A and B are shown apart, each in its own frame.
Chain A
Amino acid sequence: AQSVTQPDIHITVSEGASLELRCNYSYGATPYLFWYVQSPGQGLQLLLKYFSGDTLVQGIKGFEAEFKRSQSSFNLRKPSVHWSDAAEYFCAVGALGFQKLVFGTGTRLLVSP
Chain B
Amino acid sequence: NAGVTQTPKFQVLKTGQSMTLQCAQDMNHEYMSWYRQDPGMGLRLIHYSVGAGITDQGEVPNGYNVSRSTTEDFPLRLLSAAPSQTSVYFCASSYRGPGLRTEAFFGQGTRLTVV
Contacts and interface: CB of A to CB of B under 8 A. Distances in A.
Interface residues of A, number: 26
B108 interface: yes
A45 B62 CA distance: 27
A51 B101 CA distance: 7
Interface of A: 4, 9, 32, 34, 36, 42-46, 49, 51, 90, 92, 94, 96-106
B45 A101 contact: yes
Contacts of A105: 40-42
22 contacts: A9-B40, A32-B101, A36-B106, A43-B4, A43-B106, A43-B107, A45-B106, A46-B103, A46-B104, A46-B105, A94-B104, A96-B100, A97-B100, A98-B102, A99-B32, A99-B50, A99-B92, A99-B94, A100-B48, A102-B45, A105-B40, A105-B42
B104 A101 contact: yes
